[in-house]
Structure formats: C-alpha cells, structure tokens
Amino acid sequence: MPTYGRLPVSFIRGKGAWLWDKNDTRYLDALSGIAVCNLGHAHPAVHAAICKQSEKLLHTSNLYGLDLQEQLADKLCQRSNMESAFFCNSGAEANEAAIKIARRYGNNQGITQPVIITMEKSFHGRTMATLSATGNAKVQQGFMPLLDGFVHIPFNDIPAIEQAIQSNSNIVAILVEPVQGEGGVNIPDADYLNKIRDICDRHQMLMMLDEIQTGIGRTGKFLAYQHNNITPDVCTLAKALGNGVPIGACLASGKAAEQLTAGTHGSTFGGNPLACSAALAVLDTLNQEDLINEAAKKGGLISSKIAEKLQNNKQVSEIRHKGMMIGIELAKPCANLVQEALAKKLLINVTNEKTIRILPPLIIDQEQIHYLVNTLSELITEHTEQQ
C-alpha cells in the first residue's frame, strides 16, 4: 500500500555511512534509516552475530527460557539503571507496552479511567494507541475514534504539566521524548526532564520516556536521560537497538516494573534469539569503542561547521543539535531539499515542514563529515537563493 511517498532510488548494499544503488552510484547516508543504523551499514560485529546465531537457532518461543533475551535484559538494565525489560519488535509496540503499564498502574489504584499526559508535536507511533498518544493531527486524521486517556500539552512547558494535573485527578503518567524527533528536533530546557522527574515523584505518577529515536548513543549518551542524571520509571527503545534487525524494548523500574505479570502482555516474536543476538552485538560495540563520546563531538562539529558556512544566510532560522541529532530550521517550508540532496548523492530528511533533520551514523568519519557539511551547506544556500 502506498503508505510512504517513496524517493526514486533503491539501495542494494552499504558499508559504514555509504550506500550504493543498482547502478553502483554511491550516496552518503546522513539519516541512518531514521536513526536505526547508528553503527552504519553492514557492521562486522552485527553481521557476525546474526550469521552465527542463524546457524544455531532463530526462534523458539517466549513459552521457554531464552538465554540471549535474559542477557540482553541484564545488559540493558545495567546501562539504563532500570530493573526489567519487555521485548517486542518495533517502537510503536514498545510504547504500547508503556501505555499498558500506565493503565494497569492506574487501575490497580482504583483509577478506572487513567489518563496519560503527552506532548504537542510528539510522535509515538502508528498503532491506534500510539497515534492517539501522538500530538499531531496529521497522524490522527481519518482514524477516529481515537483512544481515550491522553491529554496533549505543549512541549517544554512545566506550568502546563502542573495545570493539567490540577484539573484532572485521573492522570497517572507522563510520556515524553527527551528530544522531539519527528516534531522537528525540538530540544527542551536542560532541566526539563529533572523537573518532570520531580513532578512525577510528588504526584506518584510514572515518568515514561520515549527514547526510541534518542536512545542507543544518538544524543551523546547511551540514553538521552543520562544527560540529566535521573532514572525514569519507563523507557522505550527500538530503532537503533538492533542496528536494522527489528527489535523494541520497554524497560521499567520500581512500581512500573511490577505491572505486567504473566498473561497480561506478550509478543510471539518479541526478544527472539536472532533479534537479541543483533542487539547484544550493538551493545557490545558501543561498550568497547568510545563511539558515543566521539559521536557527541562529531555532532557538535557538524552543526558548528554548518552554522559557520551559513552564518550570513537570513533564511536559516536556527540550528539545533544534541549529539548526533541535528536540526536546521529554515524560515520557509523546504521539503524539496530532500530530492535536491538526493541528486547530490546525500540522504537527509525534512520534518515538521521547515526543519532539515540529519541523523548520521555514529561511525561517520572525518572525510564523510567534510562531504556532508559542504554538500548540505551548498544545497541550503542554493535552495534559499532560489526563493
């Protein structure tokens, strides 16, 4: 079904930050399959892990013990300071688990109509529950009735949270992205998550972070909330967790970790040996190499170089970045830039109409950074001069 407006190119192989199409033309991937291939394409450790695992066992069932799933849960919990993990196959499913945790948490306290606060311009997925949570009318258009139990408030607005809590005694949780991805690379105040943590503690509400795009090293920490030295009650992951092998996870701690008991949730494929072998290889690689710190530096370098080249361009409204999550906001809609970049063999994305989003693989090298900075700055200059 034509659910995506596809670009007229298809790739047949990749290596690191490069991709090749059918004619053997090379492209620089500055999007990483939307924050999925953080370690680049055809990463040797991921390749080796899934080859090795596929010789032994792809799938049994969650009806049996799964050693790799347990190992992955342990490693994720260690690195996140969380207590338990539920595995699924996508971001939307990870958020479904989070929403079910919040609802059970409410129901168990006698709140039969629990409500979750989510943000305007947020994105949480395309299933009915997650699109109802999403703060974007375009995503919801034509899919009425939505699920009840969500209130949307402005992002990065602490008084709006306090107000929502005061006017609704059914609120049990807050679900928020540490940096809004689809919404336009929106970075909140440095202490936003700390203040949310404090509010959730005071009102016994669950703090649930959607780290599906920000997680696995993207923002310069393994998880974005580690910039704030806090621990949420729930954290959802997917995208880069398997570097391209589909896997999602919902991590929980404290009361949140006690909600989903035997028979209350499940997934046939969730956390199967193949997917877990890929995720374990990803975590291993991120442990061994100083990739995440490097990525934070590279992200800073890319945005400051682009800012330098475009400093006199009045149509560039703002350049924002957190690690390797970079947004360049223009004064006018610029969706065409995606095709213009493709013609120059560069893969980028435009989100929220006016924001160029780049999510390069963390392993991007200096030469590729140079190519990215020069090509993108030229493109933006040409594009803004046309108007």
Ligand X SMILES: *Cc1c(COP(=O)(O)O)cnc(C)c1O
Q: What is the CA radius of gyration of the chain?
A: 21
Applying the rule CB under 6 A, the residues between 211 and 270 that interact with ligand X are 212-213, 238-239
DSSP string over 285-318: HHHHS-HHHHHHHHHHHHHHHHHHHTTT-TTEEE
The side-by-side arrangement of strands in the sheet containing 248-252 is 84-88, 248-252, 234-237, 206-210, 171-176, 115-119, 150-153
Q: Among the options 29, 150, 155, 210, which is catalytic?
A: 210
Q: Among the options 86, 87, 123, 155, which is catalytic?
A: 123
Nearest residue to 197 (alpha-carbon basis) of 219, 178, 215: 178
Query: Cβ of residue 67: shortest distance to ligand X, in angstroms?
Result: 25
Q: Which of 40, 91, 188, 361 binds ligand X (CB under 6 A)?
A: 91
Query: Cβ of residue 4: shortest distance to ligand X, in angstroms?
Result: 12
Q: Which of 17, 37, 73, 92 binds ligand X (CB under 6 A)?
A: 92
Q: How many C-beta atoms lie closer than 10 Å to residue 179's C-beta?
A: 23
Give long-range contacts, CB 8 A cutoff, 24+ apart: 255-260: 255/105, 255/206, 256/101, 256/105, 256/206, 256/208, 257/82, 257/83, 257/84, 259/100, 259/101, 259/104, 259/105, 259/108, 260/86, 260/97, 260/100, 260/101, 260/104
Q: Which stretch binds ligand X (CB under 6 A): 47-55, 86-94, 167-175, 289-297?
A: 86-94
Query: Using the 8-state DSSP alphabet, how is residue 24 labeled?
Result: -
Q: Which of 132, 149, 152, 177 binds ligand X (CB under 6 A)?
A: 177
Query: In terms of CB distance, is 119 or 291 closer to ligand X?
Result: 119
Contacts of 278 (CB under 8 A, 6+ apart): 46, 49, 50, 242, 243, 244, 245, 247
In the residue annotation, 210 being an active-site residue is answered as yes
Query: Cβ of residue 213: shortest distance to ligand X, in angstroms?
Result: 3
Residue 103 engages ligand X in binding (rule: CB under 6 A): no
Query: In terms of CB distance, is 265 or 305 closer to ligand X?
Result: 265
Q: Which of 87, 105, 123, 225 binds ligand X (CB under 6 A)?
A: 123
Binding mask 147-166 for ligand X (x = CB under 6 A): --------------------
Q: How many residues bind ligand X (CB under 6 A)?
A: 15
Residue 32 engages ligand X in binding (rule: CB under 6 A): no
Query: Cβ of residue 90: shortest distance to ligand X, in angstroms?
Result: 4
CB 256 within 8 A of CB 108: no
Residue 90 engages ligand X in binding (rule: CB under 6 A): yes
Residue nearest to ligand X (CB): 91
Q: Among the options 221, 239, 322, 354, which is catalytic?
A: 239
Site residues (vs ligand X, CB under 6 A) = 90-92, 95, 123-125, 177, 181-182, 210, 212-213, 238-239
Active site residues: 123, 210, 239
